[in-house]
Chain A
Amino acid sequence: GEDVEQSLFLSVREGDSSVINCTYTDSSSTYLYWYKQEPGAGLQLLTYIFSNMDMKQDQRLTVLLNKKETHRSLRSADTQTGDSAIYFCAARPGGGYQKVTFGTGTKLQVIP
C-alpha cells in the first residue's frame, strides 16, 4: 500500500517562511491534501492539489511539486505564532474509490 512520509518536527522563527515536506511512495497518487490540526481539535482542510499541477497558491500557503514527482511541500510565507500546529499531508490514488493514506504529521513550532 501507499506510504506517506513527513518529518515529525519543524521549528521556525515568526516572520520566516516554513516548508513542510511530504513524500509518498505511489507515483500514481493523484490527489494530495494538506490538513492543519490545532491542539485538542480535529483536522482542518487547508488545501489540496492534483498531481498534474506543479504549484497551487492559496493566500500565504503554496504547495510545490519537487522535481522528484512523489515529493511535495507546503510552504507558508510570513509564518505566525498562530500557525503552530500539526500539519498532515494525505495522498490518494485516482480511479474508483481508493482510501486516503495520511502521513504521521509534522509538528510546526513558531518561535516569537
Chain B
Amino acid sequence: DVKVTQSSRYLVKRTGEKVFLECVQDMDHENMFWYRQDPGLGLRLIYFSYDVKMKEKGDIPEGYSVSREKKERFSLILESASTNQTSMYLCASGPGLNQPQHFGDGTRLSIL
C-alpha cells in the first residue's frame, strides 16, 4: 500500500513564527501536493511538484512556500504564520498524470 506520512498530526504555533510541515511518501511518486482543508470550502491546492526541485503554484499560494530537494519529501513552509492559516493541511502524492492521489493523515495546525 502507498504510504504518505506527515510529520505531525497536531501543531500549535504563534503568529509570526516560521512553520515547517513535512511530508514523505514511500512509493517513488513523481507528483506531490499540498492542500488545505477548511469547513465548507473543501480542499484547496496550495502548491504541487511534479519532479525534484520543481514546484508550481496552486490556487492559494500566498503566504506559503515549498521545497522538494528529494523525490520522496515535500515540505510546506509558512514564512510568517498568521491566524488565518489555522487549518487542516493535507499532503498527497501520485504516480502519474491520470492516476489518483494518495493522502496522508493530515496536520491540524493552529496559529495563536
Contacts and interface: CB of A to CB of B under 8 A. Distances in A.
B7 interface: no
Contacts of A90: 43
A55 to B, nearest CB: 18
A104 interface: yes
A88 B43 contact: yes
B93 to A, nearest CB: 12
Interface of B: 4, 6, 9, 35, 40-43, 45, 48, 50, 58, 90, 92, 97-98, 100-106, 108
Given A42-B90, A99-B48, A8 B100 contact: no
B43 A102 contact: yes
Contacts of B42: 4, 88, 102-105
A99 B58 contact: yes
Interface of A: 4, 8, 30-31, 33, 35, 40-45, 48, 88, 90, 92, 94, 96-97, 99-100, 102-105
B58 A43 contact: no
A41 to B, nearest CB: 6
A63 B102 CA distance: 19
A99 B47 CA distance: 11
Nearest to B97: A97
